[in-house]
Amino acid sequence: MLIVQKFGGSSVANAERIRNVAGIIAESFLYGNDVVVVLSAQGDTTDDLLEKAAEINPDPSKRELDMLLATGEQQSIALMAMCLEGMGLPVVSLTGWQVGIRTDAHYGIARIRRVDTERLRRELDKKRIVLVAGFQGVNKFDDYTTLGRGGSDTTAVALAAALHADRCQIFTDVEGVYTADPRKVPGARKLEEITYDEMLELASMGAQVLMNRSVQLAKRYGVELEVLSSLVRAPGTKVKEVTRNMEEMKITGIAKDDKVARVTVRKVADRPGSAFRILNAVSKAGINVDMIIQAASQGEANDISFVVAQADAETARKAVADRQAAIGFESVAVDTAIAKVSVVGAGMMSSVGIASLVFEALNDEHINIQMINASEVKLSCVIDAASADRAVAAIHRKFFES
């Protein structure tokens, strides 16, 4: 069997954890499998590198930032290779460049275009364990790019797809995908299985356990994923096309995203085209917008608010502010003290009761809802950031703990 195994940052955080993971890899290899391993940077390395960069230059070029960030994963593969060598096992570590993981040119959030499998196959043919640096690729200028936070998940899925692997295992620091973040909600339940679509929603709505792009890729190429713990031996969660309990489960899980911000444009001229001009300015800046609301205040001017990723908020504000004369409004401001709490499930639409249960849970906790957005598979509410964990716990109790 050809197995792709990915280990996240906490799984390789220190020497002891590296030895633990080496044991898992060795076991799979000695069982007679071809093993390709994708590693993340150790512990908080990526955050530390970002801080280091900020100390030198608060606004570095994205190219140089990627050059720096890519080093984190390279440390992990070299250390893991040394550990496996020490155990007498044949191993080789490869960067994204050495493998030939080609991406588009977008530094910091590159998409994988193509994966060369030649070098990987050659190493596997030599009966070596192959360790690949996650999160990185190379663009058409032969520069390093990174795939966005959590991107090692995407590397693993891309390799599994390119190699037609028999299994793709995502090892992490929890035992699988849960109905809510098990670190925040003690009553959260581990899911035996989850569909790609539901996992994609959960991941997109803030459940960090898998990067949303990795799930998209897995769905597209039919790569079945298994999310499991590197520390506890227990069956994990299967992410796949069809699950057994699709019909009965209305709600799959609850996610929180506190890396969002609201941009509010006040007293927008009440005339055709105002909303268009505002959102056009934002979209021209390359920023995705979510949950737009227009609140009619008394008189003739409206307030228009929308949600963006926190990292994009200042750019969005500026894009709108720069067009103040053309758009016609009084002021534009950013609020980062908000969070988006979402309930995800394939059976959402067929049951009106779900929305009312969510609102009831928030009402019980006296949490004010600032914005609402519903689709066939999810219901999201924007609330103040300080209440977010309490909101998730309260909603979880309503759906899963009573």
- Binding of ligand ADP by 4 (CB under 6 A): no
From the list 112-120, 170-178, 334-342, 345-353, the region that binds ligand ADP by CB under 6 A is 170-178
**Binding partner at 180 among ligand ADP, Mg ion, ligand ASP, none, C-beta below 5 to 8 Å by kind:** ligand ADP
**Binding partner at 178 among ligand ADP, Mg ion, ligand ASP, none, C-beta below 5 to 8 Å by kind:** ligand ADP
- Binding of ligand ASP by 151 (CB under 6 A): yes
Q: Give residues 186-205 in contact with ligand ADP (rule: CB under 6 A).
A: 202
For ligand ADP, the closer of residues 13 and 338 by Cβ is 13
Q: 3-class secondary structure for the chain?
A: CEEEEEECHHHHCCHHHHHHHHHHHHHHHHCCCEEEEEECCCCCHHHHHHHHHHHHCCCCCHHHHHHHHHHHHHHHHHHHHHHHHHCCCCEEEECHHHHCEEECCCCCCCCEEEECCHHHHHHHHCCCEEEEECCEEECCCCCEEECCCCCHHHHHHHHHHHCCCCEEEEEECCCCCECCCCCCCCCCCECCEEEHHHHHHHHHCCCCCCCHHHHHHHHHHCCCEEEEECCCCCCCEEEECCCCCCCCCCCCEEEEECCEEEEEEEEECCCCCHHHHHHHHHHHCCCCCEEEEEEECCCCCEEEEEEEEHHHHHHHHHHHHCCHHHHCCCEEEEECCEEEEEEECCCCCCCCHHHHHHHHHHHHCCCCCCEEEECCCEEEEEEEHHHHHHHHHHHHHHHHCC
If we measure between CA atoms, which residue out of 13, 71, 6 comes closest to residue 39? 6
**Binding partner at 46 among ligand ASP, ligand ADP, Mg ion, none, C-beta below 5 to 8 Å by kind:** ligand ASP
If we measure between CA atoms, which residue out of 134, 159, 114 comes closest to residue 3? 159
For Mg ion, the closer of residues 10 and 252 by Cβ is 10
**Nearest approach, Cβ of 134 to ligand ASP (angstroms)?**
6
**Binding partner at 70 among ligand ADP, Mg ion, ligand ASP, none, C-beta below 5 to 8 Å by kind:** none
**Nearest approach, Cβ of 239 to Mg ion (angstroms)?**
14
Q: According to CB under 6 A, which one of 72, 96, 134, 150 is a site residue for ligand ADP? A: 150
Q: Give residues 89-148 in contact with ligand ADP (rule: CB under 6 A).
A: none
**Nearest approach, Cβ of 25 to ligand ASP (angstroms)?**
18
**Binding partner at 183 among Mg ion, ligand ASP, ligand ADP, none, C-beta below 5 to 8 Å by kind:** ligand ADP
For ligand ASP, the closer of residues 149 and 250 by Cβ is 149
- Per-residue contact flags (x/-) with Mg ion for residues 138 to 167, judged by CB under 5 A: ------------x-----------------
- Per-residue contact flags (x/-) with ligand ASP for residues 29 to 58, judged by CB under 6 A: -----------xx----x------------
Rule CB under 6 A: which residues touch ligand ADP? 8-11, 40, 150, 172-174, 177-178, 180-183, 202, 207-209, 253
Rule CB under 6 A: which residues touch ligand ASP? 8-9, 40-41, 46, 72, 134-135, 149-153
